[in-house]
Amino acid sequence: MKRLYILLLSLLIISCSNDDDSTNNSLVDLQGEWNLVNIIGGFEGIDQDFERGTIIWDFNETDGTITVTNNSTITDVYNGLPSGTYDYSVMDSGGSDELIVNDINLGTFTVTSINLTIIPQFRDGFEIRFDR
């Protein structure tokens, strides 16, 4: 009977899986195109949505650059970086990754296979959300 309990306990432990949906940033890369879909925050508390394809950040992990294509015609609210190519790096800050673009810390970020969210360091900054 004792062997049966040990066998059942072993099967229970083996059959358990990790259902955690969170993703370690080091396991999912930034490589490729990301469509900016929303910017929220700032002094004025904006919440601006953008159509896919209007603003694209294309990360190239090989040379550490982002090519930004910004075709937004919205001028009265912050719409991210202007079109151009920027150097970037990722800095580990005590367990969370921070995105540095042209030596400016944009904040911590979370990334999954389909979403990228950059969260500002300061309360009056802009949270920037991207989709693949």
One-letter-per-residue 3-state SS of 33-48: EEEEEEEEECCCCEEE
Number of domains the chain is built from: 1
Q: How confident is the model at residue 5 (pLDDT cuts 50, 70, 90)?
A: very low
pLDDT at 67: 98
pLDDT digits (tens, 9 = 90+) for 28-70: 589 999 999 999 998 888 899 999 999 999 999 999 999 999 9
- Within 8 A by CB and 6+ apart from 97, the residues are 25, 26, 90, 91, 108, 109
Residue 14 domain-assigned? no
pLDDT digits (tens, 9 = 90+) for 60-115: 999 999 999 999 998 888 888 999 999 999 998 888 899 999 999 999 999 998 99
The answer to whether 40 and 125 have CB atoms below 8 angstroms apart is no
Three-state secondary structure call for residue 9: helix
Supply the range of the domain harboring residue 78. 27-131
- Is 10 contained in some domain? no
pLDDT, residue 9, reads 44
Kindly state whether residue 88 falls inside one of the protein's structural domains. yes
For CA atoms 117, 118, 120, 124, give the dihedral sign: negative
45 falls within a domain: yes
The reported pTM is: 0.76
The pLDDT value given to residue 62? 93
What CATH number corresponds to the domain at position 98? 2.40.128
Distance (Å) of CA 40 to CA 47, 56, 115, 126: 4, 17, 15, 6
